[in-house]
Amino acid sequence: QAVELFRLERELRENQKRFQSLSENVPGWTIWRLREEPDGARKFVYIGGNVRHLLPIPLDGVPGDFANLERTADAESYQRLQKAMAAARDSGSMVDEVVRFRGDGVGERWLHVRAASHPQPDGSTLWDGIGIDVTAIRHADMQMRKLSQAVEQSEGSVIITDAAGNIEYVNPAFTAITGYSAEEVVGKNPRILKSGIHSTDFYQHLWQTLLSGKVSKSEICNRRKDGQLIWEWSSTAPVFDDAGH
């Protein structure tokens, strides 16, 4: 039994070392344990050292004051975190929030915080959680929103099709110019706009230009829903995925 106990203790120490190495050195995330006292005071029991690369939180020994988070967090997202923790503590559910932080040396950071509560006999609550850096994802999302707003507000018509040429999206300007609503054209081919003015060679040249990966620019005559002919300057570009398709 003594030999078995020694073996188990050794495996436990090795697992603890691996766990600590993981929490200290893997970039982009950190793990933590927090104790919340009955009076509401909160201190970190443990927090991975790689948090230094994520947040400007002083780590002069653990436990660390949870209030350090409040001083660097965006007020609105921090309040959401507080409410989520209160709700999770009462219901036993998981905390699942994205919190925005600011600080000298790290700039803006967005952390996806997930945590579970464990009520203790003395009335305190232990929280085990993980924080994942989602800053790049949030910035990409904000860029996409800006792009989407620009397309939506553009005065020129925008059409997006799939590789087969079927319409997936049109902006409001398209509806204003052609008279077709998005519901009427999504899933259909842009040939519904053909005016009959251009030859088959004109459209074949446009399509071959796109298939070669180039941008096609031309003046094109389309037909509105009411039959009226309209001339537009068209710029059509192919969009490729990471595999070049």
Average pLDDT over every residue of 28-39: 85
DSSP string, 185-244: HTTS-GGGGB-S-S-HHHHHHHHHHHHTTPPEEEEEEEE-TTS-EEEEEEEE-----TT-
pLDDT grade for 242, boundaries at 50, 70 and 90: confident
Are the CB atoms for 158 and 151 separated by under 8 Å? yes
Percent of the chain with pLDDT over 90: 47
* CB-based contacts of 127, cutoff 8 Å, min separation 6: 32, 33, 34, 35, 36, 85, 95, 115, 116, 117, 118
Q: What is the pLDDT of residues 39-59, one digit of tens each?
A: 888 888 887 766 666 665 555
Percent of the chain with pLDDT over 70: 82
Average pLDDT over every residue of 77-104: 87
pLDDT grade for 61, boundaries at 50, 70 and 90: very low
More confident residue, 59 or 13: 13
Secondary structure of 7-35 as H, E, C letters: HHHHHHHHHHHHHHHHHHHCCCEEEEEEE
